[in-house]
């Protein structure tokens, strides 16, 4: 049963390039999602009433497929969260982002069977069907670049949003003070000014509220210029994030088996041995050093007293790399490898070899002794010749 569940987990997860069945499942479910969205869209047109029964049948079939997939993911949740017990792993999946998306993908169709006013509630919940589009994001790593960029830049984006809100609030109060006497029915209160500032700052320009006084027009001109500049800040942050992310991706391109890497990076987890320790107290592989620590978008110099925290990204490099006696190789874990399913502490490694990083899908892991090797992992091995 365990072997069956593990294979089922490999199929429903994003498949490795060499796993034809798993990759085929990714393509099939993506096609089903697109078909489901098209059917939902067409069902809103009266012109297609003649084939309404066919559309309903297709929708029901696709939703049954979503339901089966959701049950399979619950059934294999402990493989997705190997550090948690089975019950906690199931709960972690149910309340995860994609777990909720999966649930919303099929739940509305079953509402008529569970509620007295099922049809009305079903129509109300039809809006949730659009969330099925997010399921495509879960099937392809390329889409996950967007999620990673937004997550890495969330603090800068939050700061820019606060700055925009400050400008809008200030503009609304100023415009209310200037225009209220001239047109009290239009700029009735600060909320009216806020509506005007939103339309101006975001350059929407509805035209339903606008200044008529000379001072108000000059103020609107200044706020418009400021709005264009401030609204460009989040765009610049996101653009810079994409550039950084694709630079990372390009750095690892072509690094297959036997290719040497000069720098490796990893994220410190809550349960990692380095969490809470100063750099001077950390034992790194011989002739290696920590070159940089990335924390919440900031580059920190790795002084001896710097204490590493959870979610820090550590950049590790080897001394005397050009001497060709220090090597960092990337070893992919394929089907049948004897290390699959073993914890790092149980691996039979020579004294001069260490695993300094594991690339798992879109994630980069600094392994602890309890890290389990999975199929599709790429182990970055350190060794000395």
Domain range holding 117? 2-139
User: Which of residues 265 and 347 earns the better pLDDT score?
Assistant: 347
How far, in whole angstroms, is CA 211 from its chain's centroid?
43
- pTM score: 0.47
Tell which of 115, 139, 163 closes a domain: 139
147 within domain boundaries:
no
C-alpha 170/C-alpha 370 separation (Å) is: 54
Residues in Cβ contact with 195 at an 8 Å cutoff, skipping those fewer than 6 apart: 172, 209
CA atoms within 13 A on the CB side of 138: 20
Give whole-number Cα distances, 291 to 82, 311, 314, in Å: 31, 17, 8
pLDDT band at 323 (very low <50, low <70, confident <90, very high): very low
Q: Looking at residue 333, which CATH number applies to its domain?
A: 3.30.70.1450
For residue 289, is pLDDT > 80? no
pLDDT band at 258 (very low <50, low <70, confident <90, very high): very low
Find where tokens 């997705």 sit.
80
Region 103-110: mean pLDDT is 76
User: Which of residues 283 and 238 earns the better pLDDT score?
Assistant: 238
pLDDT at 253: 45
Tell which of 196, 220, 252 closes a domain: 252
The mean of the pLDDT values for the chain is 76
pLDDT at 141: 53
Whether residue 229 is found in the same domain as residue 173? yes
C-alpha 169/C-alpha 230 separation (Å) is: 14
Whether residue 270 is found in the same domain as residue 203? no
pLDDT band at 14 (very low <50, low <70, confident <90, very high): low
Give the percent of the chain with pLDDT over 70. Answer: 72
pLDDT at 130: 63
For residue 15, is pLDDT > 70? no
Whether residue 57 is found in the same domain as residue 122? yes
Tell which of 116, 139, 162 closes a domain: 139
149 within domain boundaries:
no
Q: Report phi then psi at 9, rounded to 5.
A: -60, -45
pLDDT at 171: 86
Whether residue 301 is found in the same domain as residue 379? yes
The CA radius of gyration of the chain, in Å to the nearest whole number, is 27
Q: Find the range with the poorest average confidence among 56-70, 139-153, 319-333.
A: 319-333
pLDDT at 261: 45
pLDDT at 118: 46
320 within domain boundaries:
yes
258 within domain boundaries:
no
Q: Report phi then psi at 214, rounded to 5.
A: -65, -45
Give the Cβ contact number of residue 112 at 10 Å: 15
CA atoms within 13 A on the CB side of 52: 6
Region 279-305: mean pLDDT is 69
For residue 186, is pLDDT > 70? yes
Whether residue 6 is found in the same domain as residue 134? yes
How far, in whole angstroms, is CA 310 from its chain's centroid?
18
Q: Looking at residue 189, which CATH number applies to its domain?
A: 1.10.287.70
How far, in whole angstroms, is CA 359 from its chain's centroid?
16
Q: Looking at residue 130, which CATH number applies to its domain?
A: 1.20.120.350
Q: Name the DSSP class of 307.
A: B
* Total domain count, the chain: 3
Whether residue 371 is found in the same domain as residue 269? yes
pLDDT at 256: 39
How far, in whole angstroms, is CA 222 from its chain's centroid?
37
Residues in Cβ contact with 189 at an 8 Å cutoff, skipping those fewer than 6 apart: 176
C-alpha 271/C-alpha 259 separation (Å) is: 30
């Amino acid at each position: 049963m365990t072997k069956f569940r593990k294979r089922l987990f490999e199929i429903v997860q994003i498949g490795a390039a060499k796993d034809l069945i798993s990759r085929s499942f990714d393509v099939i479910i993506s096609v089903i999602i697109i078909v489901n969205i098209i059917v939902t869209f067409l069902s809103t047109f009266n012109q297609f009433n003649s084939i309404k029964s066919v559309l309903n049948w297709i929708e029901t079939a696709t939703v049954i497929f979503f339901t089966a997939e959701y049950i399979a993911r619950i059934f294999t949740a402990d493989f997705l969260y190997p550090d948690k017990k089975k019950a906690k792993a199931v709960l972690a999946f149910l309340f995860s982002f994609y777990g909720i998306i999966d649930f919303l993908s099929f739940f509305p169709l079953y509402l008529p069977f569970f509620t007295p006013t099922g049809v009305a509630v079903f129509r109300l919940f039809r809006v949730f069907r659009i969330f099925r589009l997010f399921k495509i994001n879960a099937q392809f790593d390329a889409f996950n670049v967007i999620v990673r960029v937004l997550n890495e830049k969330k603090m800068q984006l939050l700061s820019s949003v606060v700055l925009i809100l400050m400008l809008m609030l200030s503009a609304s109060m100023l415009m209310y003070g200037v225009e209220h006497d001239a047109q009290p029915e239009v700029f009735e209160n600060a909320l009216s000014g806020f509506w005007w500032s939103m339309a101006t700052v975001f350059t929407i320009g509805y035209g339903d509220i606008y200044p008529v006084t000379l001072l108000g027009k000059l103020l609107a001109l200044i706020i418009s210029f400021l709005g264009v500049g401030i609204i460009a800040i989040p765009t610049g942050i996101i653009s810079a994030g994409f550039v950084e992310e694709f630079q990372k991706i390009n750095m690892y391109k072509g690094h297959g088996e036997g290719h040497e890497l000069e720098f490796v990076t990893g994220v410190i987890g809550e349960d990692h041995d380095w969490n809470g320790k100063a750099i001077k107290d950390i034992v790194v592989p011989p002739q290696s050093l920590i070159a940089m620590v990335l924390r919440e978008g900031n580059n920190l110099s790795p002084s001896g007293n710097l204490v590493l925290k959870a979610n820090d990204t550590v950049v590790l490099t080897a001394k005397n790399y050009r001497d060709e006696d220090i090597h960092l190789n990337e070893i992919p874990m394929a089907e049948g490898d004897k290390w699959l399913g073993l914890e790092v502490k149980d691996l039979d490694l020579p004294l001069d070899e260490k695993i300094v990083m594991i690339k798992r899908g879109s994630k980069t892991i600094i392994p602890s002794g309890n890290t389990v090797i999975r199929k599709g992992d790429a182990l970055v091995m350190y060794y000395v010749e």
